[in-house]
Chains A and B, each alone.
Chain A
Amino acid sequence: AQSVAQPEDQVNVAEGNPLTVKCTYSVSGNPYLFWYVQYPNRGLQFLLKYITGDNLVKGSYGFEAEFNKSQTSFHLKKPSALVSDSALYFCAVRLLTHDMRFGAGTRLTVKP
C-alpha cells in the first residue's frame, strides 16, 4: 500500500538553528510526495512537492526537502528556524486515484 510515515511526533529546535522533520515513504512506482503545514484550527497549506527532477526541492517560507530514493525518505528542512514556523507538519503521498495519504504529523516547536 502507498503510505508515508513520520517517525517523530514532536520536534523541538531553538530559533536560528537548522530544523529537520523526517518522512519516509512506501510507494510502488514513482512517488508523488508533498509537505503541508497546519496552523491551529486551520486547513493545510502547501509547502512543496516532489514529482520528478532534482532531488532537492525548494518550497515556501524557506523550506526545502530532499528526495532520497535509496533511503525512501523525503525529509523537510530549513537552515534557520523561526518561532513562527511552530506548527503541525504533514508529509503526504498522492495515490493513483489522486487523493492523498497523510503521515501522522509532526509538531514542530521553535523556541526563542
Chain B
Amino acid sequence: GAVVSQHPSRVICKSGTSVKIECRSLDFQATTMFWYRQFPKQSLMLMATSNEGSKATYEQGVEKDKFLINHASLTLSTLTVTSAHPEDSSFYICSARDHGWSGNTNQPQHFGDGTRLSIL
C-alpha cells in the first residue's frame, strides 16, 4: 500500500534553532500534502496545505514565517520551524493523498509516523 515517510521521528534542540521536517510519498505522487499539529491527548489540527509547485495555504492563526513549507517535487514536502521556541514543541504529522492516474479524489490520506519536536 501507499507509504508516507516522515523524517526525523524525533528532534530535541535548543531554543532559537530552526528545524526541518521532511515528508515523502514513497510509491505514489502527491500533488497535495497536509501538515498537522497534535498536542498531547488532543486531535490533529491542520496547519497548512502544501501544493506542489505553488505556495502553501495556511490555516487561520498559523504563522507563515514561522512554519515554512516547501513542496518542490511530487514526492517531497518539507516543514521548517524557524527559530523554534518551547511553545513550538509538539507532534507534527504530514499526510498525502494518492490521486492515482485517474485523479480520483476519493482516496484516503496516508499519514507519516510523525515527528516529535521538543524545544529546550
Looking at chain B, what size class is its interface with the partner chain?
20 to 34
Question: Which one of B43, B44, B97, B113 contacts A42 once the chains associate, using CB atoms below 8 Å?
Answer: B113
Q: Who on chain A is nearest to B108 by CB?
A: A46
Name the CB-closest residue of A to B34: A99
Contact status B105-A41, CB under 8 Å = no
* Cβ proximity bits B52-94 to A, threshold 8 Å, 1 near / 0 not: 0000000000000000000000000000000000000001010
Q: How many A residues face the partner with a CB closer than 8 A?
A: 21
Complex CA gap A100/B107 in Å reads: 12
Taking a contact as CB atoms under 8 Å apart, the answer to whether A98 and B32 are in contact is yes
Chain B: interface secondary structure? strand
B42 within 8 A of A: yes
> In the complex, are the beta carbons of A43 and B112 less than 8 A apart?
yes
> What is the bound-complex CA distance between A51 and B32, given in angstroms?
20
Q: Are B111 and A43 in contact (CB under 8 A)?
A: yes
Q: Which residue of B46, B91, B106, B114 contacts A99 across the interface (Cβ within 8 Å)? A: B46
Contacting pair B112 A46 (CB below 8 A):
no
Nearest-CB distance from A11 to chain B (Å)? 15
| Chain A nearest CB, measured from B18 CB (Å) | 23
Q: In whole angstroms, how far apart are the Cα atoms of A42 and B111 in the complex?
A: 9
Beyond A98-B32, A100-B34, A102-B44, whether A45 also contacts B111 by CB under 8 A is yes
State the A residues within 8 Å of B (CB). Answer: 32, 34, 36, 41-46, 49, 51, 90, 97-105
Residues of B within 8 A of A (CB): 4, 6, 9, 32, 34, 42-44, 46, 49, 91, 93, 95, 97, 105-106, 108-114, 116
